[in-house]
Structure 1
């Protein structure tokens, strides 16, 4: 029997696992896995000038686990301003494709979704080019392993809830301002950038679908290289 690859296998961006950022063990949250059907983009709503990003991740974990009572950090992954990717919910890096361990990032929309948070607050300020490029790479890596169409819409989740798009913002799932106006306004460009990465890597059927979508798009569509930086 062939061993399945992990969901983030092939990711070139540096990854900081939970041990490296000093995570507390998850409490009262038995791990559950389900097939990935969508990505939900967040911001952490913390300072954009955080001097110690990993200390910020620890603070977010404590807030989510203890103050909110979620047992652990809510996000699956956190993209730091310098392009590193911090593991979020315990078990995320060990998730075999096309599955993800369920996190706690979007109420009612957690099964089968990967919650990726950009570190910072992006209501009127955009993420760094480096962070945005890493976000594109992370989503493209997951999409390739989980066979996701970056332009997919009307996503039905395992619990019967829906999301408007395969790549959605937190505000598409819940009544919140997250991931900030600057990121929300850039989501269509993000989809094109992920599609460009998939077609360039020859990523199987996901890349084929992205290529077909690009070929059928009008010339006025967002440029694939558009980013939020």
Structure 2
């Protein structure tokens, strides 16, 4: 099935206030939700989807002061893909310093009301991802907004689907998509340290593992004073040199099974 594309003209988009920043390629795509209540009635009334996309653009431009809607593409329950900023243009929705890494795709679900993405929406998001890869030179990564930014977005329902690899509904999923809990992911090849604040998906991955092990740490993708403090305490617990720097030995130790 070809992607059911809704151009900006077709959904009545306002003109951007300026010129987009060019984006030649990305590591992949980040998936978002609205963060508010979504009327479940949109599932049975596509006109409501169109009005909702217009409302989101208005909020971003008049409320946030952005030049346009912040998303690259928006997907509704009817498997329709709305053009936002589109391909080869920098989005604004991923967070400061994170927009150049991934295109931003919004699924029209929220934190209340319609929270579970219908199959048509999931198919549409996959359609959007394939389009961004084919036409926008997006890489293979599929992430949630929360991967690298402190937020609940894209919500637990949509994020669990992202973590499974964003399969099409009805497709056979891998039986073991995640590595065993005691096996360390590949060393990212750089030490994580502060100062200055270091940012990236490798920081977020290490923070998430520390949180999983019981440490009080924000999974925000920014290695700052708190991350260094947790690192020092963890190194002390493991009998490693207490440097506050996540080197290869500290990284590997983070994925060792806890002593019981």
Q: Per the shorter chain, which TM-score range?
A: 0.5 to 0.7
Q: Report if aligned partners of 1:122, 1:182 keep a CA contact under 8 Å in 2.
A: no
**Alignment partner, residue 16 of structure 1:** 6
Which consecutive residues of structure 2, in runs of 5 or more, have no partner in the other structure? 179-260
Task: Specify whether residues 13 and 220 from structure 1 end up closer, same or farther in structure 2 by C-alpha distance, changes over 3 A only.
Answer: same
Where in structure 2 are the equivalents of 1:94-173 lying within 5 Å?
95=87, 100-107=88-95, 108-121=97-110, 125-144=115-134, 146=137, 148-149=139-140, 166-173=141-148
> What's the TM-score, normalizing by structure 2?
0.57
Task: Specify whether residues 136 and 190 from structure 1 end up closer, same or farther in structure 2 by C-alpha distance, changes over 3 A only.
Answer: farther
Give the Cα separation in 2 of the matches to 1:147 and 1:110: 13
Task: Specify whether residues 33 and 170 from structure 1 end up closer, same or farther in structure 2 by C-alpha distance, changes over 3 A only.
Answer: same
Task: Specify whether residues 67 and 147 from structure 1 end up closer, same or farther in structure 2 by C-alpha distance, changes over 3 A only.
Answer: closer
Q: Which stretch of structure 1 is more off in the superposition, 167-176 or 182-191?
A: 182-191
Which whole-Å deviations, capped at 9, do the CAs of 1:75-112 have from their partners, x for residues lacking one? 000001111010011xx1xx4xxxx2111111121114
Q: Report if aligned partners of 1:77, 1:117 keep a CA contact under 8 Å in 2.
A: yes
Q: Report if aligned partners of 2:72, 2:84 keep a CA contact under 8 Å in 1.
A: yes
Structure with larger Rg:
2
> What's the TM-score, normalizing by structure 1?
0.65
* Count of matched residue positions in the alignment of Structure 1 and Structure 2: 168
Task: Specify whether residues 192 and 84 from structure 1 end up closer, same or farther in structure 2 by C-alpha distance, changes over 3 A only.
Answer: closer
> Does 1:184 pair with 2:153?
no
> Does 1:39 pair with 2:29?
yes
Task: Specify whether residues 127 and 221 from structure 1 end up closer, same or farther in structure 2 by C-alpha distance, changes over 3 A only.
Answer: same
Relative contact order, higher structure (CA 8 A, sep 6+): 1
Give the Cα separation in 2 of the matches to 1:141 and 1:185: 22
TM-fit CA distance, 1:47: 1.1
**Alignment partner, residue 202 of structure 2:** none
Which consecutive residues of structure 1, in runs of 5 or more, have no partner in the other structure? 1-10, 150-165, 198-213, 223-229
Q: Please, which of 150, 153, 168 is the counterpart of residue 175 of structure 1?
A: 150
Q: Report if aligned partners of 1:34, 1:112 keep a CA contact under 8 Å in 2.
A: no
Q: Report if aligned partners of 1:106, 1:170 keep a CA contact under 8 Å in 2.
A: yes
Give the Cα separation in 1 of the matches to 2:91 and 2:177: 33
Give the Cα separation in 1 of the matches to 2:12 and 2:115: 29
Paired residue secondary structure (1:172): coil
